[in-house]
Amino acid sequence: METALVTGANKGIGKEIARRLVAEGMTVYLGARDETRGQAAADEIGARFVRLDVTDEESVQKAVAGLESLDVLVNNAGVAVDWGVEPAEMSAAVMRNAFEVNVFGVVTVTRACVPLLRRAPEGRIVNLSSPLGSLTLLSDFDCPVAQRKLLAYSSSKSALNAVTLVYAQALAPIRVNAVNPGLIATDLNGFTPGAGVGTVEQGAEVPVRLALGDGGTGEFHGDGVNSVGGRVPW
C-alpha cells in the first residue's frame, strides 16, 4: 500500500485530494496547521492527521519523522495575499508572506521528505501551481491571466514553477510536476466573484491523477483552460 502526504489539506482542494487518494487505497497523511480542524477532516475522510505548518521547519521535521515510508508528496498548501491590492501598493512584507508559504514552504517540506521518497519504488511530488505564474501568459498583456495583476501570487507561483523544474532534474528518478487545478473558488481566493467557477472535486482531478502516477516529470499539467493538450505553458 502506497503512502501520501498532502499539505494544507483540512479543507478545499487539498482535502478533496486527500479524500480521493484514500478512496484509491493509499494511506494518506493529512497535513494541517490547526489540530482541531485537521483531525476532524482526517476523521471524516479516513486519513491520518499530522500537524504540519509549512512555514515552521520544526513542525515539518516532526511531522515527517513520524512517517515510516512515503511514495507521494502533494504540496498543496498555498496562500493568495493580494486580491484587490494594486501592484504599486504591494509591500515587500506582504510579498514575503506569500513566498513563505508558496515557495519556501514547498522547499522546506520537500527537503524533509526527499529521503523517504528516494526509498520509494516510484516517488512522486505534485506541486499545486497556477497559470497566474506562467511567464508565457503573463507576457501577453491581453491575456486574462496578465490582467489579474497579482504581484505576490503570480511571482510566487512563477518561483514555484522554477523550483519544480530544478527538482525534476535534480531529484530524478523521483517525478516532480506542477499542476493547475483549474479556476476554483475557495478560501484561498476568498471566494472572490470571478475567481472560480469549478468545484473542489473538479480541482482535485488532475492532481490526483499525477499523484497516482500519470505523467512524466518536469511537466506543468492543466485542466484545459489556457493550455494546449492539457498543459500550461511555463
- Does residue 163 carry a pLDDT above 60? yes
Q: What's the pLDDT at 197? A: 61
Q: What's the pLDDT at 189? A: 44
pLDDT confidence tier of residue 182, bands split at 50, 70 and 90: confident
Cβ contact 219:227 at 8 Å: no
Asked if CATH classification 3.40.50.720 holds for the domain at 3-221, the reply, yes or no, is: yes
Could you list the active site residues?
A: 153
SS (H, E, C) the chain: CCEEEECCCCCHHHHHHHHHHHHCCCEEEEEECCHHHHHHHHHHHCCEEEECCCCCHHHHHHHHHCCCCCCEEEECCCCCCCCCCCHHHCCHHHHHHHHHHHHHHHHHHHHHHHHHHHHCCCCEEEEECCHHHCHHHHCCCCCHHHHCCCHHHHHHHHHHHHHHHHHHHHCCCCEEEEECCCCECCHHHCCCCCCCCECHHHHHHHHHHHHCCCCCCCCEECCCCCCECCECCC
- Does residue 178 carry a pLDDT above 70? yes
- Does residue 125 carry a pLDDT above 70? yes
In terms of C-beta density within 10 A (0-12 exposed, 13-18 middle, 19 or more buried), how is residue 149 classed? middle
| Chain mean position to CA 48 | 19
- Does residue 126 carry a pLDDT above 80? yes
What's the average model confidence in pLDDT over 207-228?
84
What's the average model confidence in pLDDT over 30-48?
98
Q: What's the pLDDT at 185? A: 56
Which percentage of the chain shows pLDDT scores above 90?
A: 85
Whether the bond into 233 is cis, omega within 30 of 0? no
Sketch the domain layout of the chain as residue ranges: 3-221
pLDDT digits (tens, 9 = 90+) for 72-113: 999 999 999 998 899 999 999 999 999 999 999 999 999 999
pLDDT confidence tier of residue 229, bands split at 50, 70 and 90: low
Q: What's the pLDDT at 192? A: 47
Please give the mean pLDDT across all residues of the chain: 92
Q: What's the pLDDT at 183? A: 72
Q: What's the pLDDT at 200? A: 83
